[in-house]
Structure 1
Amino acid sequence: MIRSTTSALVAIFLTATQAFAQAEAPLTVAAQFEIQGAEPSTSGYVFTRMGITETLVNADAQGRLTPGLATEWAVSDDNLTWRFTLRQGVVFHDGTPMDADAVVKALTIAMGKPGSLASLPIEGIAAGDGAVVIRLREPRAALPAYLAEFGTQIMAPAAYGDDGQARDVIGTGPYRVTDFAPPLSLDATAFDGYWGAQPFIADVAYDAVSRVETRALMAQSGDADVVFGLDPASVARLGMSDAVKVHSVAIPRTLLLKVNAGHPALSQPEARRALSLAIDRQGIAQAVLRYPEGADQLFPPSVAGWHNDDIEPLAYDPAAAAQLLAGLGWVKGDDGILTRDGERFALTLTTYPDRPELPLIAAVLEQQFRQIGVELTINATNSSEIPAGHQDGSLDLGLIARNFSLIPDPIGTVISDYAPTGDWGAMNWENPAFVDLVKGIARDGGTDADRAEAVRILQSDLPVIPIAWYQQTLAAASDLRGVTVDPFERSFGLQDLQRSE
């Protein structure tokens, strides 16, 4: 009798201990992005998404700007001086106040590093009475949107060394860092001094996991509560699991081919159109990505003001592609590959496995291009090879996923990518009329007609070739409530998550 009672008590104790441990376990996010260090310009997207750091301006699910650490903003009559009124009573995780001097220091440091602020015509940033004042050399209508980009996150003065390099991650968000182990992980806990609502779950963690198969297994086994960067096969498998729920939303991101328009075989718009006509977008979307349809223009419908329903959509027509190439003097050889003046139509496509769908689509493109006589060699490597190849001129084609929402107003990405060229956009493409048009939109916001004309030019010249519009898909533990997918990829929404009782 005593033995039976003791065994029962032990069982009850173990069950209670396990339940307590489970309740106290941190909420773990697994994604493919490594943490390069404490520097916002390189790893800030992890810190903002984890709710550790914040920006002056936020954006809602429709891309509308909302208050962040700044409660309001206004511009002078000449559109050259902006005043951002700061939220009162906010403190950093080290207890120091988030005041105008601290914000000026953070923004000044950010302005001196690669990122959105470095591209702006900023004459000066100064502290005002409870506000930050930014003076421009020429107008920028979208300046508040630039201050929602992760590179402009505000960290405490103590976070930076004398050289301006970030040494620690000290933000103002609902979570503060408790353990930082780049490139693979960080732990954080709820910040008691947060100015907003307290998180429901106290402890969170981030794991950088490079292999998609491993991330999927972590979701299925419960080793991670929220998992990003899943391939279509994993999404289909996890969709049948009771342990997780799969959540998806259309996002302002496009899968596209970055084209070296200076390459002898690609310098004419007709050649780029031929490649576009060879791409079966619908087949790729449905068979590879498990999306309902491909992209018939660069900007998805979710990019307000830049999606143009009036332009002729990109089509799939290999026969028309072959005719265009024949008109450019290309002739098929005995092996089916085109030649012109003794040169084979042979290209290298560079892509990266960080996004597991990209190598799969590269393999499909290799087959589709071969059908029109174009030989494609796939180079699946580090994503940094794309901008490096842009800079040294060695890139032929790059298969990438381009986000048009890191700066919530798309003009921020458009002007950096296409006016005239950018590491992730156009390469060796010149269109002075387009550059003037886009710079005008950047100055004063432009009109719907201006944006429609810009989209028409991109559709005609094809400095990049759109393939598919993205969906953001994540797998979350089935016991989590309040899961949302941020289409602008600014937040994981951890502070709103709750575990079911």
Structure 2
Amino acid sequence: MKKIIFAAIAMIAVYLVWSINSAKPTNNTLTISGPFEFHGTDMAKDGHIYSRLGVTQSLTQLKTTGEVVPLLAERWSVDENGTRWQFEIRQGVKFHDGQSLSAKDVAASLLRAKIMPGVFAKVPVKAINAQGQNLEIVLETPYLPLLNTLAHFSLGVLSADSFDSEGNIVQFNATGPYQVVELVAPHKVSLTRFNDYWGNKASIEKVEYLAGHRSESRALQVQSGQTDIAYTIDAISKQNLENTDNVAVQSVNLPRTVLLKVNNHHPYLSDSKARQAISLAINREGIASNVLYAPGSEAYQLFSSSQNEWHVDQHKPKRNLELSRQLLTELGWRKGDNGILQREGKPFKLTLVTYSDRPELPMIATALQNQLLDIGVQIEVSIDNSSVIPAGHHDNTLELALIARNFGMTGSPLPVLYKDFTNKKGSDWGHMNWHSEQLQNDLTKLVSVSDPAQQHQLTQSIATVLAQELPVIPIVYSSQHVAYNKSLTGLVVDPFEIDYRLSELSFND
């Protein structure tokens, strides 16, 4: 009798295990948590979301080494004058609605990008011609970083009928390995695998992207299993997660600089001596070591030594409070009874705006607030939505902003610098109200010169002017920390922040 009972129990146990395993869903949904909101389908403003999630693709792409390789363009050539480019558009590519990609579609996307703010607006395009799978871009003058520029997220290709007669996007029809199922701005994107994708098809069927500002919350979500990947976590969360059994962390140094965006028309900041004084008062080594837990990431110029052609050797003016105070005295500032500098009866008081999308920025802002008080400069920190910074740039109300700028988003910083510094007003995420004839002339020469020795001379000249005049004030160089569930394989962190390479991911069952 006992044998019969044990046999029955064993059979029931086997049946339960089989039932549970049969009912268990397969790993077909990838959940991602990131800091960045989106507000629509405007490629100039929100293209980074769709590029990173594998929805849109550009003519070229960047390998992690920075090398430009083909994507939607299979091959290209340029004439001996450097002004007539021929691109052969990849055969067999379908849009998400089933249409075939042609050069006409690429031309429509590029022509729209030309009239929008962004890196392509500054390219000296004379004409864009399309016939079949052949695209021709004719330039007024040579523009050497064209292939790098074409890899930018804002130049993701949509079908020609995605635009109305005025260039507005009326449908979002792209070519990537994932297609959009649902957009709930500003926080949620739902994707599904595009089964007619021209390249290697994604292993994971569905993707959910959720935007959340707090780094600590994203880290807890991946630790608890609520999300599979958490992008852009802070240094403290990184340390905590490295001790967990189910989560791994990947980190990569980025060509991104945390910097102070300065309103160079502000009466307190218009003189380069004032900007130099502020820079000399900043304890960058302390911020790098004690805020970011990344000794050696302090930035005394815009470009790190890894971007050696843009890095000025021996330029490392460390914190010097005595010289900082001397420069401010030369500008007429005197310390008041409360320790705050005064000039003509007004205190040296500024508002610094930053945002929490980058978790390190509010902490760095607080450190700067304390450090600048040592020279009598009073800083009021305002943590707001990141959109406040472009708005303050345009209406000229912005005084200081702490931002993170990726100068390598096209592999080379040249397209971004050319866009920013050939415009006296600057750009939303670049300088503000500053101009240098020498810098503009050097940049204009650099985009068309092919001689390596002359290129080196010009890049060093540009980097030196930026380091001395400080139209923006560099603080530290950035790293990207990505936490992910150890059941995932194939994760590659893109240093240029263009593509998360989600189609290369799979679950270990």
Which amino acid letter does the alignment assign opposite residue 368 of structure 1? Q
Conserved? CA contact 2:43–2:156, under 8 Å: yes
Q: Cα deviation per residue 1:165-209 (whole Å; 9 max; x = unaligned)?
A: 223332211222233333222222322222212223232221122
Report percent identity of matched pairs.
Answer: 38
TM-score by length of 2: 0.93
The residue that corresponds to 2:263 in the other structure is: 260
Q: Cα deviation per residue 1:5-27 (whole Å; 9 max; x = unaligned)?
A: 67425531453046x41x33401
| CA shift for structure 1 position 54 | 0.7
The residue that corresponds to 1:428 in the other structure is: 433
Which amino acid letter does the alignment assign opposite residue 498 of structure 1? S
Conserved? CA contact 1:40–1:166, under 8 Å: no
Bigger drift between 469-478 and 190-199 goes to 190-199
The residue that corresponds to 1:298 in the other structure is: 302
Structure 2: distance between partners of 1:34 and 1:131: 36
The residue that corresponds to 2:204 in the other structure is: 201
Which amino acid letter does the alignment assign opposite residue 363 of structure 2? L
Q: Cα deviation per residue 1:93-142 (whole Å; 9 max; x = unaligned)?
A: 21111111121122222223222222222222110352211122222111
The residue that corresponds to 2:33 in the other structure is: 30
Which amino acid letter does the alignment assign opposite residue 484 of structure 1? V
Structure 2: distance between partners of 1:14 and 1:375: 66
| CA shift for structure 1 position 145 | 1.4
| CA shift for structure 1 position 304 | 5.4
- Mapping of residues 357-372 of structure 1, within 5 Å: 357-372=360-375
TM-score by length of 1: 0.94
The residue that corresponds to 2:162 in the other structure is: 159
The residue that corresponds to 1:94 in the other structure is: 97
Conserved? CA contact 1:347–1:396, under 8 Å: yes
| CA shift for structure 1 position 464 | 0.8
Question: Does residue 75 of structure 2 align to residue 67 of structure 1?
Answer: no
Structure 2: distance between partners of 1:278 and 1:460: 15
Change (3 A) 1:13 1:162: farther
The residue that corresponds to 2:334 in the other structure is: 331
| CA shift for structure 1 position 474 | 0.5
| CA shift for structure 1 position 300 | 2.1
| CA shift for structure 1 position 384 | 1.9
- Mapping of residues 68-467 of structure 1, within 5 Å: 68-293=71-296, 294-303=298-307, 305-308=309-312, 310-419=313-422, 420=424, 421-444=426-449, 447-467=455-475
| CA shift for structure 1 position 232 | 2.1
Conserved? CA contact 1:483–1:493, under 8 Å: yes
Which amino acid letter does the alignment assign opposite residue 391 of structure 2? A
| CA shift for structure 1 position 163 | 4.1
SS at match of 1:272: helix
Structure 1: distance between partners of 2:470 and 2:383: 23
Q: C-alpha root-mean-square deviation of aligned residues, in Å?
A: 1.9
SS at match of 2:213: coil
How many residues are matched? 498
Question: Does residue 493 of structure 2 align to residue 485 of structure 1?
Answer: yes
SS at match of 1:400: strand
Which amino acid letter does the alignment assign opposite residue 90 of structure 2? R
Structure 1 unaligned regions, length at least 5:
none
Structure 2: distance between partners of 1:163 and 1:261: 36
Structure 2: distance between partners of 1:163 and 1:427: 30
Bigger drift between 408-417 and 453-462 goes to 408-417
Change (3 A) 1:5 1:321: same
Which amino acid letter does the alignment assign opposite residue 43 of structure 1? D
Q: Cα deviation per residue 1:363-409 (whole Å; 9 max; x = unaligned)?
A: 11111000111111112112222222222222211111011122322
Which amino acid letter does the alignment assign opposite residue 143 of structure 2? R
Structure 2 unaligned regions, length at least 5:
none
